[in-house]
Amino acid sequence: MPKVIVENIVASTSFADKLDLDVIAQSLEEAEYEPEQFPGLVYRLSSPKTATLLFRSGKANCTGAKNVEDVRKTINIIADKLKNLNVDVYKNLDIVIQNIVAISDLGTELNLNEVAMGLGLENIEYEPEQFPGLVYRIKDPKVAMLIFGSGKIVCAGARKTEDVSLAVDKLSEELRSLGLIKK
């Protein structure tokens, strides 16, 4: 079973009915807010190393976390800072994981033409003149995998960390059964 390393988790939540981004930007020195450029306020934390986009609607997107616990920590830190600014923050923040991006390595080189044929062209996007990797879409769990000739994989679209491992194991098993990787 190839080792899987989570590189990024994108999650969303709603902090309140509305947020006054001007007040937040003036009150929190870590905040970056340029409404002419982008309608959201960017709030970066160094620990855990994340960036959160806050919107006037009260909604927020957190990115950069490497695990779900760091997402929770980030959301809790921001909620506390907002409360200190007298924002009426919701009691139970519903955190929804939107996307998990992870990497893995099959430990062997692959012939992507053979992989494309073996996995079935209906689930594959492969145009070597356009991009050096092959895109393989798995239905269950619903993820997209970028597979490279080096044997390295990028998995995106998962909503649970277990789904990433499941998808990589499934791919590894399929390639093994097709005789495209040994072990």
Find the CATH number of the domain harbouring 127. 3.30.310.10
β-pairing verdict for 96-105 and 124-125: unpaired
Do both 79 and 142 map to the same domain? no
**Could you tell me if 45 and 121 lie in one domain?**
no
Q: Over the chain (183 residues), what is each successive 10-residue block's mean pLDDT?
A: 93 97 94 96 96 98 97 97 96 96 95 93 92 94 96 96 93 93 74
Single out the residue in 64, 97, 130 at which a domain terminates: 97
Give the pLDDT of residue 183: 59
Segment (H or E) for 124 = strand 124-125
Q: Which of 144, 12, 14, 137 is nearest to 65 (CA)?
A: 12
Dist CA 16 CA 31 (whole Å): 18
Find the helix or strand (DSSP H, E) in which 170 lies: helix 161-177
